[in-house]
A and B are shown apart, each in its own frame.
Chain A
Amino acid sequence: MLKILKYSFYDLMRSRWSYVYFLFYLILGFVLLFLNNDVNKAVITLMNIIIVLTPLIGTIFGVMYYYNSREFTELLLAQPINRKKIFMGQYIGISISLTLSLVLGLGIPFVLYGLFKSAAIFNFGLLLVVGSFLNFIFVALSYNIALSTENKIKGFGFAILMWLFLAVIYDGAFLISLVMFDEYPLDKFSLIATMFNPIDLSRILILLKLDISALLGYTGAVFRKFFGTNLGMVLSMSILVLWVLIPVIRINLKLRKKDF
């Protein structure tokens, strides 16, 4: 598996798009720091971008890589290697190369700016951890979609819809339900609903660490009580881990019956 991982990783590292992605974050990091002049504020702006953009890029890279390397995957399938190892190698290769673009692209400007002397290092660290999780989650989800859809265009469409649903539509539906049922106690409901969407979960996790939860009112206080504790932190991290594991397990189950 390590060999496949290595080659997928090298292949992507040499692709133009990885550099574009890396440069984008690099420029974004520098611009935000010099416009804001405040690491904490830069982290909040970055969060808004990362939380929407990393899932989108992860989804697109995952689907594109799967469909583009289909013939090559067939060549690998004819070699004496276990199927699962081929796909797990590719999956981890894509996820790591995207994560590297994110961490290096944002890390370099922040380190140059003097991050290690700032108190924001934990918030920034959390941001990168959450961003990496989102990469792993959305590449796994998009691989699931690509494996289940033979048609390239359809697969691409489904993947984008999935992203749109989790990044935008879910929030809308969530908000509408909050307004509709605002006579009922909704704190538990909203807490649970947040868990079912990795993007929302990541957003709440970062917001609460940034001490701006006062803006969120009563629900914010409930959230703070929950996520602010160590238990809440551990629980939400484990849910992010589950969001990686469940799609990965489904990939492996799907592979058992898949024809190439």
Chain B
Amino acid sequence: MIEFKNLHKNFGKLVVLNNLDLSISEGGIFAILGPNGSGKTTLIKCLLGMVIPQKGEITYKDKSVLGKWDYRNDLNYLPQIANFPPNLTVQELIEMVKNLRPKQANEKDLIKLFGLNDSLQKKLGNLSGGTKQKVNIVLTFMFDSNLIILDEPTNGLDPIALINLKELIQKEKEKGKTILITTHIMSFVDEMANEIVFILDGKIYFKGSVDALKEKTNNSNLEHAIANLISKQYA
């Protein structure tokens, strides 16, 4: 469904994506992993059109996405840091995002699920970090799109919200959606992911199932398997 071909991006002298090739098929949960600064977020932002690559091509459903914007109607994105205009209320923000997309939204259940009913009339500037992340999640999941991209979705969530989030992701997966997740929490990956994409030095170092990774690194524990991959970079 998504193809990255020969993708190259550098910020000044720093090469972040180095002729990267990656193809992601439709359906399932893909965990994008890698050490800090390996290019995970840059890769996602290239797909979203927020970072403009120097070279290469990205296609979504066989259509090029570079310089376009209408394909984004078919994807939902959860950004890493949730920071909203402090003077708007939660309700107004939700209405605004609904207003911006020509799509049916289903926010009521999500608001109930994350217990945000009492916060709807509060200004976003007065919310705690965890509550903001919940609002962020509602904004991401309220639309029905084929592709869902989550950048560090577990940031600041309490255990109940985390369980709800996991259930939500599983439900979307069962509907046959493609979900890309970046995270540093390995138990989350072990539990959720169908496939792992490991990025190192701006290239795809490993792509395959969790079991294949464990086998490759001779490690039954995913956390150690990943640590094993990363330590090769430091060596």
Contacts and interface: CB of A to CB of B under 8 A. Distances in A.
B45 A3 contact: no
A71 B81 contact: yes
Given A79-B97, A81-B100, A259-B50, A7 B73 contact: no
B50 A80 contact: no
Contacts of B139: 75
Contact of A79 (B87, B88, B101): B101
Contacts of B75: 78
Nearest to A84: B69
23 contacts: A7-B85, A10-B87, A10-B88, A11-B87, A14-B87, A70-B83, A71-B81, A74-B50, A74-B79, A77-B49, A77-B50, A78-B50, A79-B72, A80-B69, A80-B70, A80-B72, A80-B102, A81-B72, A83-B49, A257-B52, A259-B50, A260-B45, A260-B51
Contacts of A11: 85, 87-88
A3 B50 contact: no
Interface centre among A14, A69, A76 (most CB of B within 10 A): A14
A14 B48 CA distance: 31
Contacts of B49: 77, 83
A260 B85 CA distance: 18
Nearest to B81: A71
Interface of A: 3, 7, 10-12, 14-15, 69-72, 74-83, 256-260
A80 B101 contact: yes
B79 A259 contact: no
A81 B102 CA distance: 11
Nearest to A257: B52
Nearest to A75: B79
Nearest to B100: A79
Instruction: Pick the 6 closest A-B CB pairs, nearest first.
Output: A71-B83, A80-B73, A78-B77, A80-B72, A14-B87, A260-B50
Interface in B39-54: 45, 48-52
Contacts of A69: 85
Contacts of B82: 71
Interface in B48-95: 48-52, 69-73, 75, 77, 79, 81-85, 87-88, 92
A213 to B, nearest CB: 45
A15 B125 CA distance: 11
Contacts of A3: 96, 99-100
A111 to B, nearest CB: 29
Contact of A71 (B79, B88, B102): B79
Given A72-B84, A80-B72, 7 more contacts: A3-B99, A11-B85, A78-B50, A78-B77, A259-B11, A259-B45, A259-B52
A83 B85 contact: no
Contacts of A75: 79, 84, 97, 139
A83 B69 contact: yes
Contacts of B102: 80
Nearest to A259: B51
Contacts of A12: 87
Contacts of B96: 3, 7
Contacts of A83: 49, 69
